[in-house]
Amino acid sequence: MNRTDRLYALVEELRAVSPRPRSARWLAARFEVSTRTVERDISALQQAGVPIWAEPGRTGGYVVDRSRTLPPVNLSPGEAVAMAVALHRLAGTPFATAAGAALRKLVAVLPPADVAEAHRLAGRVHLIDRGPAGPVPAAVADAVAAGLVLRLRYADRGGTDSLRDVEPLAYLGNPTHWYLVAWCRLRDGVRCFRTDRIVSVRPLAEPVTRELRAEDIDIPRHRLRPLSLV
């Protein structure tokens, strides 16, 4: 999770339990960072005007004033794309038109920079038919959003592991599974990795410089649907 998303998530976590406090140690474990990082993030939020204060004592921690924080319709770019994926599954139902209108309203309240980032992320998601309901590992999702090279340990259909450095380019979802579409340096080409077969994943510091081309996905265009935020 990048810092901007973590700041959003910190506020929402504190809002959800307010007026009860959350300790720096609890928040550090929740977001898989150090307590020092949490303290820096809280300080940055306080300087930005978010009404967070610290309650002392053994059961103390950080508290946010729910009545003065932004309402939850202030989505992060990643949350907007998540909503688009979920609403996409309503296609063909009586609620499809209403779902599309709701998504446009949500996107309309985002700051311009977040709208641009949400469209960039949505452009990396391709669905076949209605798309899947299965999960994507958080580390994979974060790296695709951040545009970082990944080191994967991947099990093939026979269960044999291999270690690969890949450049994530997009997601591909069919009715059963999510796939990570990436340039595989081991195979020197674009490959699709089923996310439930990824044994471990570690983001590297190296940025991805490639872009996915239409011809890289060998699927008839009439079956492939790009994710849309409009």
pLDDT in tens, 73-89: 567 788 888 888 887 77
Instruction: Indicate the Cα dihedral angle 114, 117, 123, 128, nearest 10°.
Output: -60
Asked whether 146 and 167 are in contact (CB, 8 A), the reply is no
Q: Does domain 3-64 have CATH number 3.90.180.10?
A: no
Q: pLDDT band for 122, please (50, 70, 90 cuts).
A: confident
Report the candidate in 173, 217, 212, 218 with the shortest Cα–Cα distance to residue 196. Answer: 173
Residue 130: predicted pLDDT = 63
Residue 74: predicted pLDDT = 65
User: What is the distance between the alpha carbons of residues 31 and 10, in angstroms, rounded to a whole number?
Assistant: 9
**Structure tokens that stand for 51 in this block:** 């009404």
CA 161 vs. chain centroid, Å, equals 26
Residue 230: predicted pLDDT = 65
What residues pair up with 150 in beta bridges, in sequence order?
A: 166, 203
Range scoring the smallest mean pLDDT among 42-46, 93-97, 216-220: 93-97
Report whether pLDDT(70) > 60: no
Indicate the average pLDDT of the chain: 83
pTM of the model: 0.60
Across 21-41, average pLDDT:
92
Counting residues of the chain whose pLDDT is more than 90, the rounded percentage is 24
Cis peptide before 71 (omega within 30 of 0): no
Counting residues of the chain whose pLDDT is more than 70, the rounded percentage is 88
User: What is the distance between the alpha carbons of residues 86 and 7, in angstroms, rounded to a whole number?
Assistant: 23
Across 205-225, average pLDDT:
83
Q: Which residues of 55-73 are buried (b: 16+ CB within 10 A; e: fewer)?
A: eeeeeebbbbeeeebeeee
> 48 or 182: which carries more pLDDT confidence?
182
Range scoring the smallest mean pLDDT among 104-108, 127-131, 213-217: 127-131
Report the candidate in 42, 89, 79 with the shortest Cα–Cα distance to residue 61. Answer: 42
**Structure tokens that stand for 85 in this block:** 């994926």
> 146 or 70: which carries more pLDDT confidence?
146
Report whether pLDDT(69) > 60: no
Asked whether 194 and 179 are in contact (CB, 8 A), the reply is yes
Residue 174: predicted pLDDT = 81
Q: Where in the chain is the domain with CATH 1.10.10.10?
A: 3-64
